[in-house]
Amino acid sequence: MLDTFLGTVRSAMKSHLRSRTYLKGIYIKLLSITGIIVANGLDDMLVNYMKINVGFDVSDMFAVALVGYEALSILENMHQMGIFTGKLQDILDKFFDDSKPSK
C-alpha cells in the first residue's frame, strides 16, 4: 500500500497520473498479488493432492521476492520525490541512474 501511495503521489507531482508508467505499475502490482494466490494454489496442489514435497513453499519464496521488489520500488519513489539528501541521495542517484553507459 505504501508503494502504491508513494507512486500515486509521485505521479501526481509530475502530472503523470494517467501515464503509461503509472498504469503499468498498478498492473504489475495486481499481477503480483494474483501470482501469490496462484503460487499458494500450486503449493496446495503439490503437497496435499500430488504428495510431492519440494522442500520449500513456492508461495513463500514468491512473497519474499515480491517484498524485495516492493522495497526497491518504495526506495525509488522516495528518491524521485527528493526525500533523501546528502550522501544517500548521491548513492541512490548512481543506483537508479536510467542512462545507459556508453561503449
101 part of a folded domain: no
Contacts of 52 by beta carbon, 8 Å cutoff, 6+ apart: 46
Q: Residue 24 falls within a domain, yes or no?
A: yes
**Containing structural domain, residue 7:** 2-95
Count of domains observed in the chain: 1
Q: Give the global pTM.
A: 0.64
Residue 20 falls inside a structural domain? yes
Q: Quick: pLDDT tens for 17-51.
A: 666 766 777 788 888 889 888 988 888 888 888 88
Instruction: Specify if 64 maps to a domain.
Output: yes
Instruction: Of 15-24, 48-57, 76-85, give the range with the top mean pLDDT.
Output: 48-57
Q: What is the DSSP string of the chain?
A: -HHHHHHHHHHHHTT-TTSHHHHHHHHHHHHHHHHHHHHHHHHHIIIIIS----SS-HHHHHHHHHHHHHHHHHHHHHHHTT---HHHHHHHHHHT--SPPP-
